[in-house]
Homo-oligomer: A and B are copies of this chain.
Amino acid sequence: MSRTITRRMANVKPSAVREILKVTADPSFISFAAGNPSGDLFPVEALREYSLDVLANPASLQYSVTEGYQELRDLVSERYGRGYNLKKPGDDTIIVSGGQQGIDLAARCLLEEGDAVICENPSFIGALNCFRMYNAELVGIPCDEYGMLLDELEVALEANPRVKLIYTIPTFQNPGGTTLPLERRRKMLELALKYDIMILEDSPYFELSFDGTFPPAIKSLDDSGHVIFVGSFSKIIAPGIRVGFVIAPDWLTSKMTVAKQGADVHTNGVYMRVAAEFLKNYDVDAHILRCRTLYKEKCGLMLAEMEKKIDKRVRWTKPGGGLFIWCELPADKPSAGLCETLKQQKVAIVPGVAFDTDPDNLANCGFRLNFSVPSNEQIISGIGLLAEGISEYLDK
């Protein structure tokens, strides 16, 4: 009795990505398996300066209100809410401990056992596992090089009366690297309204656009209160600070705040203030331009090397931003087998099954490549080794 783990937890496996990261701690491996932004881009000097300033005020170390440090809420409402038209009448902004917590709190408030969540297939493993922890059913929708297929979405909505939420990463998707076009965004919103379903728009990457452009957020298109926007400072400041935000209708943010009281009381008070200083005093857009420029270069290099070296039977996305390229082997070649082969070449990738809404789908033939972490030299030699391993695997 005492050792019985809940069903919600019994169903969830540790993240395969995290397990792979442990393996690739071996420095002789070249890893394309990361999900991290580049550490070279962290604004360390500014964070040191702001930390000292913030710590001069002992209030930064005291308990604070659950919904977040008010000045940061205001700055987020200004930059994102007003700047990107994400905050609508009746909406509120709360600060969360990273985008992951935004997903978790929304799920806690919205997902009853047995409810279904629609998501892109493949999708972000952290979100999928979170929904599984609420005993929700995952309904994966196939994607093409532009993201979710909206005809398939409509079929799924029609077939599943218990769908409560559509979870989407529309811009520079993880792991797909895809960007949902404006017309599909409008259509997704239209379907959400038709079936009266909330959309959880997870958008940690949108500012990492290589050319500075991206379609409007789904949230910005909605005036009916059907979209929850989850944003993050993990990719434009640093993930280790665990600061993100949610902009959503206030009937929901008020409940998410109550949920957060039970989850962690509030987000780290020093770093809520450091993030506020960053938004107020740093040249945020110049910093984001530096990030975009570096990632554009790395992604371009990786795609060029892939074009030169990788077997033509493999297909891959051409991301407009973000951190990831998604590849697909021919349909009869599961990527888990490729990962095995690549142990010889000492190259790490994440096999598609890790992002599959069916965690046992060993037939998944996709895999994810990260270009933000490896050096240019590692990209060049690693793609060579990957190409070798792929040829060996496909001709086996």
Contact = CB atoms under 8 A, between A and B. Distances in A.
Interface string A41-65: 0101001100110011011111111
Nearest to A198: B2
Interface string A239-278: 1111000000001101101110111111111110000000
Interface stretch (A98-106, A176-184, A209-217): A98-106
A316 to B, nearest CB: 24
Contacts of A303: none
Interface stretch (A11-19, A75-83, A141-149, A344-352): A11-19
Contact of A261 (B4, B18, B270): B18
Nearest to A127: B262
Contacts of A110: 4-6
B196 A263 contact: no
A129 B260 CA distance: 11
Contact of A130 (B52, B164, B239, B262): B262
Size class of the contact patch on chain A? 35 or more
A109 interface: yes
Contacts of A238: 61-62
Interface in A78-137: 97-98, 100-101, 104, 108-113, 126, 129-130, 133
A55 B270 CA distance: 13
B264 A241 contact: no
B100 A196 contact: no
Nearest to A261: B15
A193 to B, nearest CB: 9
A6 B108 contact: yes
Contact of A64 (B48, B60, B104, B240): B240
Given A55-B44, A60-B240, A61-B47, A14 B108 contact: no
Interface in A147-183: 164
> Copy number of this protein in the oligomer?
2
A187 interface: no
B47 A109 contact: no
A8 interface: yes
Contacts of A7: 112
A265 B100 contact: yes
A9 interface: yes
Nearest to A265: B100
B61 A240 contact: yes
A266 B8 CA distance: 20
Given A2-B198, A52-B48, A261 B111 contact: no
A7 B100 CA distance: 22
Given A36-B62, A242-B266, A271-B271, 7 more contacts: A4-B112, A7-B112, A14-B257, A44-B58, A59-B240, A100-B262, A126-B265
The 10 closest A-B pairs by CB, nearest first: A240-B269, A61-B238, A130-B262, A61-B240, A268-B268, A97-B264, A39-B58, A51-B51, A63-B239, A2-B196
27 contacts: A1-B197, A2-B192, A2-B197, A2-B198, A6-B111, A6-B112, A7-B112, A13-B258, A14-B258, A14-B261, A42-B61, A48-B55, A51-B51, A59-B240, A61-B240, A62-B238, A63-B239, A98-B265, A100-B263, A100-B265, A104-B262, A104-B264, A108-B133, A126-B261, A129-B258, A133-B259, A242-B267
